[in-house]
Chains A and B, each alone.
Chain A
Amino acid sequence: MRHQNTTDHGTTAVNRLAGMRRRVVGSIAGLAGTMFLAGCATNAPQDTFQPKGPNAKIIDDLQKPVFAVAGIIGVFVTVVVIIAVFKFRDKGQPIPHQSHGNPALEITLTIIPALILTVVGVFTFRTVFDLAKTSDTEMIINVTGQQWWWEYDYPVQNEYGITQPIITSGQLVIPAGTKVLLRQTSRDVIHSYWIPALNGKRDAVPGRVHLNRIEADKPGIYAGQCTEFCGLSHANMRMEAVALSKADFAKWVANQLKPYASPAENTLAKEGETVFMNQCIRCHQVNGMKRADGTPVIAAPDENMVSGAAPNLSHLMSRNTFAGATFDLLNKSCREDVWGAESESFGAKYLGGVSEDCLNQTDLRGWLRNAPAMKPMYANPALLTSSGGKYRGMPNLGLTESDIEKLVAYLLTLK
């Protein structure tokens, strides 16, 4: 697994490590305190207390006071017990009065928590419905989970220049400051979509469409992770949301809609295209690709995959990560360049995609050589027959080194 996060502390919006305030919380004792602190001062990319958009903010506004209340009650109970322990330990005092209780006290101490919870309940209630609001949605993206990556399908939305559906995977690209509605489902088992900085989780359940609203305030990359156990590589099913300024987003859309350009004859890449047609096209679609006789090449992942899909590779090199955002497509220095960029230049750098100099050769070649060795794909290959011989995840194709050489050259043309 690669470092996906830079280590330098810049001050850009993209770099989540930067400029983080560490709020100090008072009156903390024992564990309740640790719990508290964890929520308040931090720098992990999936921190649940660092909202970067309105939905996450609504949640955060609710959870902070709740955690505080819980913390205070915890400290209170702990302190009372500790006092009792020291005050009443056996120091030879006589046997205490055999009192059986004090109903008035009992009832008071029952009503107080009930009142506290009523207040919490009212706010919870309101927040649940606030979050469920979808009527003012500005953009729709269909999100489909499968073992073990996410597919994004942008339906035609002319106001964003999306004149044809766009299909991509791994990184969800959205315009910043726009209310985006994710319509989620799954092709196999249950997954869960979670970009903590933008909103809470929402399961992607096969046979159902669940709505999930997100919005990012500023351009940047926001990390996330599949959070419903979905089989062998659940741990390697990640995702990133990339927010671009509206202008940059338009450029991104235009690039995604760019027609396919077959590599020039007699290049390594052209040979790679042939290998690709022989090997990869069974599962991976590249839009606009044609055979020598001019017939379009259509992948048939449904015949090969249990989930019925494999990532669309048309513009593979426009993304930074691959295989469920588990590996980098950019090598370390280029990656740091993009991820650490200033807010204004971030968009341009991201849109630069992956050039030959920047490609993370090791991981991409490793992937083509033997994908399951890098990311566990099925527990026991012998059991594949029980799924009708269909694959779960990308198999080891037994490619030769020269094939891999050619393929890499070819894949680099898929900008």
Chain B
Amino acid sequence: MAIIERSITSTEVFSVATPSSSLGALKRPVATTGWKSWLFTVDHKKLGIMYSAAALFFFIVGGLEAVLIRLQLAAPNGKILNADLYNQMFTMHATTMVFLFVMPMAAGLANYFIPLQIGARDVAFPRINAFSFWAFLFGGLFLNLSWFLGGAADGGWFMYAPNSGPVFSPSHGIDFWVLGLQITGIASLAGAVNLITTVLNMRAPGMKLMRMPIFTWMQLVVQFLLLFAVPVITVALFLLSFQRNFGATFFDVSAGADPLLWQHLFWIFGHPEVYILILPSFGVISEVLPVFSRKPLFGYPFVVFSGAAIGFVGWGVWAHHMFASGLGPVSVAVFSISTMAIAVPTGVKIVNWTMTLWGGKLEFTAAMKFAVGLIVLFTIGGLSGVTHSVAPSDTQQTDTYYIVAHFHYVLFGGAVFGLFSGFYYWWPKVFGKLLNEKLGTWNFWLMVIGMNMTFGPMHILGLQGQPRRMYQWTEARAGEGLFNFGFWNMFASIGSIVLSIGILLFLINIVITARNGKVAPLDPWDARSLEWMTSNPPKEHNFDSIPTISHLDEFFHRKYQEDASGQMVKVKTAEQVMKELEDNADAHIHMPSPSYWPIFLAAGLPVISFGVIYSIPIAIIGGVIVLFGCYGWSIEPSTAPDDDFDPPATTKDVVHVG
């Protein structure tokens, strides 16, 4: 971004120098404040914030879609949505929540915190990082554009062929879906390459792999999963778009195609994907639980290896989504057993978290509440998952609300709760202000109650035989007595309102905190890991001097030491630890420079996609934008040379980043 020069003369002020001269095809952007500083930034922290803000926006979109679904289903023969709109609604609800909320939110946290947690000043490829963000954002907007251009995709989030083919889904909705996901896929892939390289290569001295914070570890596993899973759905999406846009017949049964091809490709991606969604949250709570238990994570190596094991075994279970598809008994039996195997490493995590609590000194901040909530709610969802893995019984439950209950417990009770835990935990780090704890408590309880009210009854509904994806349900099959559809559907719908109010409180909390929140102390939680060893919010260059790591939970060990009786006592305050770093500050730090090219290049992708749907010349224009972007990108040095700064950085001992 700039060259950060330590003020030699006096106190605290660091001066920032920005590059000035013309480089590459365009003059470099230089703004350090205002909207331009965001648009062209390559700073991982700014990008992290933008990722999260965009994801939050999509969460509200996906949530409103969910609320519409619930309103429609509250009573029999709902009239709020017609069949067509309803089908679009649940397809886009799931797509938005999975691809545009949880994934980018996790990417936002990864972006912001991985470099801080491993003691780096930025990611390995800052410009690619910016490109990832913009590609995700443009892809997400492109997907939602379909609402205004003749209707959104309506084939369900796994978009089974041949229903997703041009004959059965003639509107453009699915075209937008396919191409939009293709764009966000590119973003994920680029992000994965970037973050893996960052974690492996940019660690501070002494930060061995087995000293890395668990959040970083889980993100590393996630990025590997993305790296290998995204290309699989890329293939599937290509085949589908060639069928829809260029007349190929990959899923056209009359030409001899086998519709199960799509199912396999989708779920080979799709199952690793669900671990992509959950592992970041596992990472978050593995940070939060120890901090508020005042105790290290129980069995750190087990948590690390079980995470890796989940990631690995997750590749061998995809066909459990296809138990009713007619695979044949051998495949069904094999996938059934392999799916059960995954419960073992996941169980390890549950055990470790519980044992972390055990014997601790628990402080129930909002972050901690969400973390503990996750343990219980995820377990419920995981156990229903195990009941699905029993293939014969799954043939009764698949495609009913029992499955809907399962995945909302793991996704909402698991992934979303983890993210909320992270919001409360890291908010002071990012914005320097503490979220209101009282509102947080309300937020938490309304969410727990609302979520159980919404998704709990779905177990009943599903076991009573209510299939999913029905725009209306009928009294005729509702049954009576305690377990009738009528009561529990209404109950779930009311629950979703409670849940919405809970989430609304979070949004209100953000506003209140921004207006007049409490300014956060340097180390508000008495935290343990490296990201807290810098100011709130962190400086542009993260650390004044890169710390040398000698422990897991480095920050904690700098603050605490065992006294003679073996009791941990605080020997240093966070301020003192910080001061040590400041005293050794690098004089001149050369940060990666902002660039026009990431956003420019990313903007070409939706143009191409738009052209593929409507007219090839537009696609060619998009192609030219991309080509020009690549050209500009490759001739612009990723980091402006030292002599290009104003004032030029003259000193020899400049520390370079990126």
Residues in A lying within 8 Å of B, measured CB to CB = 1-5, 7, 17, 31-32, 34-35, 37-39, 41-49, 56, 58-59, 62-63, 66-67, 70-71, 73-74, 77-78, 80-81, 84-85, 88-90, 93-103, 105-106, 109-110, 113-114, 117, 120-121, 124-125, 127-129, 131-132, 147, 188-190, 192, 194, 196, 199-203, 205-208, 210, 223, 225-235, 238, 306, 376, 379-380, 383, 386-387, 392
Residues in B lying within 8 Å of A, measured CB to CB = 76-77, 82-84, 87, 151, 154-156, 160, 162-163, 166-171, 253, 256-260, 293-302, 324-326, 328-329, 332-333, 336-337, 340-341, 343-344, 347-348, 350-352, 354-355, 357-364, 372, 375-376, 379-380, 383-384, 386-387, 390-400, 402, 452, 456-457, 459-460, 462-467, 469-485, 560, 566-568
**A200 contacts which chain B residues (CB < 8 A)?**
324, 392-396, 398
> Contact at A62–B296, with CB atoms within 8 Å?
no
Task: Rank and list the top 6 A-B pairs by shortest CB-CB distance, nearest first.
Answer: A46-B465, A200-B395, A44-B479, A101-B299, A63-B393, A235-B470
> Contact at A88–B463, with CB atoms within 8 Å?
no
**A105 contacts which chain B residues (CB < 8 A)?**
355
- If A77-B354, A386-B167 touch, whether A85 touches B477 (CB-CB below 8 Å) is no
Minimum C-beta distance from B607 to chain A (A): 25
Minimum C-beta distance from B393 to chain A (A): 4
> Contact at B460–A34, with CB atoms within 8 Å?
yes
Q: Considering the chains assembled together, what is the distance between the CA atoms of A188 and B162 in angstroms?
A: 8
Q: Considering the chains assembled together, what is the distance between the CA atoms of A338 and B344 in angstroms?
A: 52
- If A190-B163, A227-B398 touch, whether A232 touches B87 (CB-CB below 8 Å) is yes
Q: Considering the chains assembled together, what is the distance between the CA atoms of A2 and B328 in angstroms?
A: 38
**B379 contacts which chain A residues (CB < 8 A)?**
73-74, 77-78
> Contact at B484–A44, with CB atoms within 8 Å?
yes
**A379 contacts which chain B residues (CB < 8 A)?**
83-84, 151, 154, 171
**B391 contacts which chain A residues (CB < 8 A)?**
124, 128
**A230 contacts which chain B residues (CB < 8 A)?**
163
**A192 contacts which chain B residues (CB < 8 A)?**
324, 399
Other contacts beyond A88-B293, A210-B326: 15, CB < 8 A: A4-B476, A35-B463, A66-B387, A74-B380, A77-B379, A85-B357, A109-B347, A120-B386, A128-B333, A207-B253, A227-B398, A229-B469, A232-B83, A376-B84, A392-B168
Q: Which of A81, A131, A203, A205 is close to B375, meaning CB atoms less than 8 Å apart?
A: A81
Q: Considering the chains assembled together, what is the distance between the CA atoms of A203 and B360 in angstroms?
A: 51
> Contact at A376–B479, with CB atoms within 8 Å?
no
Q: Which of B170, B351, B360 is close to A106, meaning CB atoms less than 8 Å apart?
A: B351
> Contact at A225–B324, with CB atoms within 8 Å?
no
> Contact at A106–B466, with CB atoms within 8 Å?
no
Q: What is the chain A residue whose CB lies nearest that of B363?
A: A90
> Contact at A59–B392, with CB atoms within 8 Å?
yes
> Contact at B358–A202, with CB atoms within 8 Å?
no
**A383 contacts which chain B residues (CB < 8 A)?**
170-171
> Contact at B298–A44, with CB atoms within 8 Å?
no
> Contact at A109–B351, with CB atoms within 8 Å?
yes
> Contact at B298–A129, with CB atoms within 8 Å?
no
> Contact at A96–B360, with CB atoms within 8 Å?
yes
**A147 contacts which chain B residues (CB < 8 A)?**
168
**B394 contacts which chain A residues (CB < 8 A)?**
200
- If A46-B477, A88-B358, A124-B333 touch, whether A235 touches B471 (CB-CB below 8 Å) is yes
> Contact at A189–B337, with CB atoms within 8 Å?
no
Q: What is the chain B residue whose CB lies nearest that of A328?
A: B476
**B463 contacts which chain A residues (CB < 8 A)?**
35, 38-39, 42, 47-49
Q: Considering the chains assembled together, what is the distance between the CA atoms of A95 and B476 in angstroms?
A: 61
Q: Considering the chains assembled together, what is the distance between the CA atoms of A234 and B472 in angstroms?
A: 10
Question: Which of A113, A210, A376, A383 lies at the interface centre, i.e. has the most chain B CB atoms within 10 A of its CB?
Answer: A113
> Contact at B362–A85, with CB atoms within 8 Å?
yes
Minimum C-beta distance from A78 to chain B (A): 5
Question: Which of A74, A110, A128, A227 lies at the interface centre, i.e. has the most chain B CB atoms within 10 A of its CB?
Answer: A128
Minimum C-beta distance from B245 to chain A (A): 13
Q: Considering the chains assembled together, what is the distance between the CA atoms of A120 and B325 in angstroms?
A: 22
Q: Which of B155, B380, B472, B474 is close to A32, meaning CB atoms less than 8 Å apart?
A: B380
**B568 contacts which chain A residues (CB < 8 A)?**
95, 97-98
Q: Considering the chains assembled together, what is the distance between the CA atoms of A379 and B172 in angstroms?
A: 12
Question: Which of B328, B344, B463 lies at the interface centre, i.e. has the most chain A CB atoms within 10 A of its CB?
Answer: B463
Q: What is the chain A residue whose CB lies nearest that of B342?
A: A117
> Contact at B325–A203, with CB atoms within 8 Å?
yes
